Amino acid sequence: MKVGFIGTGNMTSAIVKGIVASGKMPKENLYLSNRTPEKRDRLASETGATVCSSNEELVSTVDVVILAIKPNLFSTVLPELAPLLIEHNPVVVSIAAGISLSQMHSMIGQDSAMRIIRVMPNLNSQISEGMAAVCGNDHATAEEIDFIVSVFESIGEAIVMKEEDFSVFSAIAGCSPAFTFLFVDALSRAAVKYGIPKEMATKIAAQAVLGSGKMLKESDQTPWNLIDQVSSPGGTTIEGVLALEENGFMTSVVKAVDAVVEKDRNMNKE
């Protein structure tokens, strides 16, 4: 399989480097196109990927086209490439937020039978600890969807989900890194209150959150069971947990997810 990337920003860089590091594909089977040649050439030099002089050359060469461009460019780029996409029939993959499978199909041509797959990765993909949701249209085969899942597993985890659930995924995976950063910052600022330098406090809090996530992921325990393990009777942890609940910690998190889902669904209607 030859996989091409239109756009060579941070996410493409993470994906290409992850694929090369994993050894899942020969590096020469990865193709790059970008409107800024310097960025394209720099990534090709770092990874050994193959350079394409234009989007048209890339579409004509590869089996899979990954669109790693800003959402506002889709309405221009896809119609321009539509004749070549229909002629060469590669699998089309988007990693753009807010562009649905049906919208992409319409931009290419309503009568086309293009195999289109939508992927929503998150920020942590840049350090190969990402979480991605994958969904294909009716023309995409199970094998093609599985291949794309394997591509994104080179930079973390990937799961197949219904497109209608992407708004919820966006909240709990796409936006939650920002929520987590806010939580870490709050912990570190609380430590500053008690005399610990901010840089040291942030390092402590970040490692605690990292380890907690890894422990939960590798454990067969529920989050509440692990909370109980940390909370000794009459101890300090349960005092803090109760203070969080008294101030609406869980309710605030749920409301944050509600806000993201509502905003995302409203944007998709526009």
> What's the mean per-residue pLDDT of the chain?
95
Tokens, residue 57: 């050359």
Q: What is the band of 264 on the pLDDT scale with cuts at 50, 70, 90?
A: confident
Query: 2 forms bridges with which residues in the sheet?
Result: none
DSSP E strand stretches across 46-178: 50-51, 64-67, 91-94, 116-120, 130-136, 156-160
pLDDT at 183: 97
Tokens, residue 52: 């394409």
At 30-46, the pLDDT tens digits run 999 999 999 999 999 99
Residues 208 and 107: their CA atoms lie apart, in Å, by 46
At 152-184, the pLDDT tens digits run 999 999 999 999 999 999 999 999 999 999 999
Q: Using DSSP bridges, classify how beta strands 64-67 and 50-51 pair: parallel, antiparallel or unpaired.
A: unpaired
Residues 139 and 117: their CA atoms lie apart, in Å, by 9
Please state the rounded mean pLDDT for residues 52-62: 97
pLDDT at 111: 75
pLDDT at 244: 97
Tokens, residue 16: 């290409």
Q: What is the band of 247 on the pLDDT scale with cuts at 50, 70, 90?
A: very high
pLDDT-above-70 percentage for the chain: 99
Please, is 252 exposed, middle or buried when counting C-beta atoms within 10 Å of its C-beta (0-12, 13-18, 19+)? exposed
**Sheet of 116-120, strands arranged across:** 50-51, 30-33, 3-6, 64-67, 91-94, 116-120, 130-136, 156-160
pLDDT-above-90 percentage for the chain: 94
Please state the rounded mean pLDDT for residues 81-85: 95
pLDDT at 103: 93
Please state the rounded mean pLDDT for residues 110-124: 91
Neighbours of 75 (CB within 10 A): 13
Asked if the model's pLDDT at residue 267 lies above 90, the reply is: no
Contacts of 205 (CB under 8 A, 6+ apart): 184, 187, 188, 191
pLDDT at 58: 97
Closest among 59, 102, 88, 85 to 268, alpha carbons compared: 102
Residues 19 and 7: their CA atoms lie apart, in Å, by 16
pLDDT at 122: 95
Q: What is the band of 270 on the pLDDT scale with cuts at 50, 70, 90?
A: low
pTM, 2 dp: 0.90
pLDDT at 109: 85
Residues 62 and 30: their CA atoms lie apart, in Å, by 9
